[in-house]
């Protein structure tokens, strides 16, 4: 049996990139997976690929009412939610003086408010399941300061903070809450030039999403049963020198 046999796993941003890798990883471990995303065609195609143990759910993570509907639909289809992976995210760059307030708001709404609303919506279902695990996907940018990414960094530092607060509050219900901090991952969100820049780090290179999926699977599983409010970093050493080069 897989580590998540018969469990309901809800993954946001699950239609492509890291989210799709997470969906495949949990399904391979026996989970019943809800693929939540705005990308309908890609999400439906992934659900068909996996088969009966997956379903697509259209979800805008910034909308509270849609979260309530999605959580209820997941439980009705597969049973109470045991694992929530808050993976949905957007990326915008720009110097502080030049960034448009609309871009700032978008990044904070998707990357941070979406995580908050997701936990709020999933916790009642998790309590009915007798406990569970929440994995909030932050970033190496949630561990150090970097120019031109003020909105993204603020959102990812915020995810790190709300993860710890939630862990304190939800432990009484046997719900663990942890954050995962990827570095450069080969997805559509990867900035141009990342492969060359990554050669400067302790473990050079841009990794396949499956590398991060393996971390997420561990953090969500009973193998990490005594870990909560913690950061699990998979960034090749990116954050060791504050995002600066570590090799000459």
Taking alpha carbons only, the member of 182, 113, 100 closest to residue 154 is 113
State the Cα–Cα distance between residues 150 and 7, nearest whole angstrom: 37
Q: What is the pLDDT of residues 3-55, one digit of tens each?
A: 999 999 999 999 999 999 999 999 999 999 999 999 999 999 999 999 999 99
Domain hosting residue 207, numbered range: 8-241
Q: Does the structure show a pLDDT above 70 at 102?
A: yes
Spatial contact of 206 and 190, defined as CB atoms under 8 Å apart:
yes
Residue 25 inside a domain? The answer is: yes
Residue 111 inside a domain? The answer is: yes
Q: What is the pLDDT of residues 155-170, one digit of tens each?
A: 999 999 999 999 999 9
Which stretch, 107-111, 189-193, 196-200, has highest mean pLDDT? 107-111
Position 143 scores a pLDDT of: 95
Residue 178 inside a domain? The answer is: yes
Residue 21 inside a domain? The answer is: yes
Domain count, the chain: 1
- For the residues 203-229, what does the mean pLDDT come to? 96
Residue 248 inside a domain? The answer is: no
Position 243 scores a pLDDT of: 61
Write the CATH number for 163: 3.40.50.720
The residues near 171 (Cβ < 8 Å, ≥ 6 apart) are: 228
45-69: burial string, b at 16+ Cβ within 10 Å, e else? ebbeebeeebbbbbbbbbeeebbee
Residue 152 bears catalytic tag? yes
Q: Taking the model in full, what pTM does it have?
A: 0.94
Least confidently predicted of 78-92, 94-108, 180-194:
180-194
- For the residues 123-132, what does the mean pLDDT come to? 98
Q: How confident is the model at residue 194 (pLDDT cuts 50, 70, 90)?
A: confident
DSSP character string of 178-211:
EEEEE-SBSSTTPPTTHHHHHTTSSS-SPBPHHH
Residue 1 inside a domain? The answer is: no
State the Cα–Cα distance between residues 201 and 188, nearest whole angstrom: 21
Residue 33 inside a domain? The answer is: yes
Residue 48 inside a domain? The answer is: yes
The residues near 233 (Cβ < 8 Å, ≥ 6 apart) are: 140, 143, 180, 181, 239
Catalytic residue of the set 144, 152, 173, 197 = 152
């Amino acid at each position: 049996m897989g580590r998540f046999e018969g469990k309901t796993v809800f993954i946001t941003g699950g239609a492509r990139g890291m989210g799709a890798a997470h969906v495949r990883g949990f399904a391979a471990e026996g989970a019943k997976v809800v693929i939540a995303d705005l990308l309908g065609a890609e999400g439906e195609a992934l659900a068909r690929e996996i088969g009966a143990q997956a379903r697509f759910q259209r979800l805008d993570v910034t909308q509270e009412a849609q979260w309530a509907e999605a959580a209820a639909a997941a439980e009705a289809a597969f049973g109470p939610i045991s694992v929530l992976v808050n993976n949905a995210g957007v990326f915008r760059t720009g110097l502080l003086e030049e960034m448009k307030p609309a871009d700032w708001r978008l990044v904070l709404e998707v990357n941070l408010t979406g995580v908050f609303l997701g936990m709020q919506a999933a916790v009642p279902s998790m309590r009915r399941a007798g406990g569970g695990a929440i994995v909030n996907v932050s970033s190496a940018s949630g561990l150090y300061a970097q120019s031109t990414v003020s909105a993204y960094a603020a959102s990812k530092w915020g995810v790190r903070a709300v993860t710890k607060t939630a862990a304190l509050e939800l432990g009484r219900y046997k719900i663990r809450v942890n954050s995962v901090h990827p570095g450069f991952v080969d997805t559509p969100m990867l900035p141009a030039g990342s492969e060359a820049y990554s050669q400067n780090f302790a473990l050079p290179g841009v990794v396949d999403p499956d590398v991060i999926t393996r971390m997420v699977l561990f953090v969500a599983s009973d193998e990490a049963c005594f870990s909560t409010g913690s950061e699990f970093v998979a960034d090749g050493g990116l954050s060791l020198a504050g995002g600066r080069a570590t090799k000459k």
